[in-house]
Structure 1
Amino acid sequence: MAVDVFDRIVASWAPPELTAQDELDAEPATAFAALLDQQSPVMETGDPLPPLWHWFHFPEWPAQSELGEDGHLSDGAFLPPLPQRRRMFGGGRLVVHAPLRCGDTVRRSTRVSAVRTTEGRTGKLLLVTTTAEFSVDGEPRLLEQQDIVYRMAADVASVAPPARAEPAEEEDVPGPWVLTVNPSPVLLFRFSSLTGNAHRIHYDRAYAAFEGHPGLVVHGPLLALLMLELPRRFDPGRRVERFSWRAKRPLFDATPVEARGGPDGRLVAGTSTYPAAVTGRYE
């Protein structure tokens, strides 16, 4: 039955494009900088937003009655009609034509650009890619793609890391830049609030265990942002024009997260056990 559902979605699901508009003010950037114990780089009109910091804009606050048991919308424009779905952020790509700036009125146009299936450790997976174009007064600024992974609730198995650590490959742990963050429940809660993300795996330990996780799950977008903090902090004169990243395994709140990278463009985020749980590259 599950195979029929997956195949039917791939063959026929084609949601329409959606547009939204937001005026970028400094408050969300100030809030995220405070979460990282940093001074905000965005204070006045005209200041550029660091790459991906637009994630703190275009807020969506659905009615409580519209949420499912996992905290996500029960139904939505870009949510596939997969019964009892479980959702994870898989990765993405960003092209920066020109930075978004504080005070800009930004138009975002988003569409589903790919739907496909694959086999994972927990069963069949549905991979949905969305493409968003951001413009100001008709001028293209950003092109962003996000890869979201869906699976059937019945297929969810434990995703706890194995007891024996996998050896780290030298090529997977670039340097010399390092940023260490403690993904405490408080930090994860603040990030969820800042992004309007009600997914319970990030703040509800009992529910996270119900989905097979050994702890609170660190947000995939937070890990991507931490990786991009490296060129922003250690090479501030360099403009990031492209960034791609892929999540290879989830990380949890019990262990400090390290983002590592260097001027060669390679980036990773992980723990001492799994130093390259998330990989990335910037140009």
Structure 2
Amino acid sequence: MIDIAGWAPEPQETTEVIDAAPSVALAGLLDAAPPGDELPPLWQWLHFLERPAQRELGPDGHPREGRFLPPIPERRRMFAGGRFRVREPLRVADAVTRRTELVSTAVKQGRSGEMLFVTVRHTFSRDGTEVAVEEQDLVYRSGGEASRPAEVSFEAPEVKAPWTLPVTADPVMLFRFSALTYNAHRIHYDEAYATEVEGHGGLVVHGPLLAILCLEPPRRAGLKVNEVSFRARRPVYARQPFVAAGSPDGTLSIEAPGVTAMTATFA
């Protein structure tokens, strides 16, 4: 039974000068032109990174302990979704302060047992003025026997939408995104671990990468996005063809073989 009684982490603040290099690197990964001095929404995930010592990592590659990591045994983490609102864009050479705080927790019963839903808020400020707010929804469960790996289809989905961006995330892309975000979770690079320990159908495409790809069609169409909300619904695996689809009406999605893997809205 998940028990987090007494877990109430204090807010934490970190200040960083925004460097251009991570955005240039991500643009290369996406085969796109660099965005210039303004960070596109969600590209702040390349900044304010935690860099724990090797000895601090657990068997899954995640840190064993952390201020906003719940104290539950054999913790497994899933990226569920989030929201981001921009008042003014984060810019290269800005000194930005990020304040992180726990917003809510809820224990729910799922198909695989009890799950802990956690929402964490990041507030970004420049010269003492709030410029953007992000909320991340994360799901944790205690480890146990892996479920049987899912059957994975590699048939390209047929998608009809005003915007379509076909993508196939191979292991090289996953490795590069893990490096850019300093993400050591083994489900993204260790196929035996992903399938045999966590029960996935292959290497897992990062939820944040899917969310960034959701916003690529409006970004490439030249639209300014001030708000985005997204929800992860199904995993996407390496080598599966998928489509980042959307419309100027504000709807976006990741369409994978046979499933909608992520839905999003923007304004």
Code of the aligned partner of 1:253? A
Corresponding residue number in structure 1 for 2:31:
37
Which string of whole-angstrom CA distances, capped at 9 and with x for unpartnered residues, describes residues 96-120 of structure 1? 1111111100000001110101122
Write the distance in 1 (CA, Å) between the matches of 2:163 and 2:47. Answer: 28
Instruction: Decide which moves more: 248-257 or 139-148.
Output: 248-257
Corresponding residue number in structure 2 for 1:239:
224
Q: CA RMSD in A?
A: 1.8
Write the distance in 1 (CA, Å) between the matches of 2:109 and 2:146. Answer: 13
| TM-score, with length taken from structure 1 | 0.89
| TM-score, with length taken from structure 2 | 0.94
Corresponding residue number in structure 2 for 1:99:
89
Which string of whole-angstrom CA distances, capped at 9 and with x for unpartnered residues, describes residues 209-241 of structure 1? 12101100000000000001111012x1x3211
Q: Does 1:207 align with 2:186?
A: no
Which string of whole-angstrom CA distances, capped at 9 and with x for unpartnered residues, describes residues 136-187 of structure 1? 0011111000011101111652361588x9x99xxxx772101111110000
Code of the aligned partner of 1:87? R
Write the distance in 2 (CA, Å) between the matches of 1:129 and 1:201. Answer: 22
Code of the aligned partner of 1:267? L
Q: Which has the higher helix share?
A: 1
For residue 88 of structure 1, the aligned residue among 78, 97, 103 is 78
Code of the aligned partner of 2:87? H
SS in 2 for 1:277: strand
Stretches of structure 1 that go unaligned for 5 or more consecutive residues are none
Code of the aligned partner of 1:23? V
Q: CA deviation at 1:194?
A: 0.2
Q: Does 1:230 align with 2:217?
A: yes
For residue 62 of structure 1, the aligned residue among 48, 52, 60 is 52
Between the aligned residues of both structures, percent identity stands at 50
Distance 1:180 1:200, change over 3 A: same
Corresponding residue number in structure 2 for 1:18:
12
Q: How do 1:1-283 residues align onto structure 2 when only pairs under 5 Å count?
A: 2=1, 6=2, 8-9=3-4, 11-42=5-36, 47-154=37-144, 156-158=146-148, 160-161=150-151, 175-209=161-195, 210-234=197-221, 236=222, 238-274=223-259, 276-283=260-267
Code of the aligned partner of 2:15? Q
Write the distance in 2 (CA, Å) between the matches of 1:154 and 1:28. Answer: 36
SS in 1 for 2:263: strand
Write the distance in 1 (CA, Å) between the matches of 2:181 and 2:148. Answer: 27
SS in 1 for 2:144: helix
Write the distance in 1 (CA, Å) between the matches of 2:237 and 2:152. Answer: 14
Write the distance in 1 (CA, Å) between the matches of 2:228 and 2:117. Answer: 20
Write the distance in 2 (CA, Å) between the matches of 1:155 and 1:18. Answer: 35
Q: CA deviation at 1:12?
A: 2.5
Stretches of structure 2 that go unaligned for 5 or more consecutive residues are none
Q: Which has the higher strand share?
A: 2
Distance 1:240 1:84, change over 3 A: same
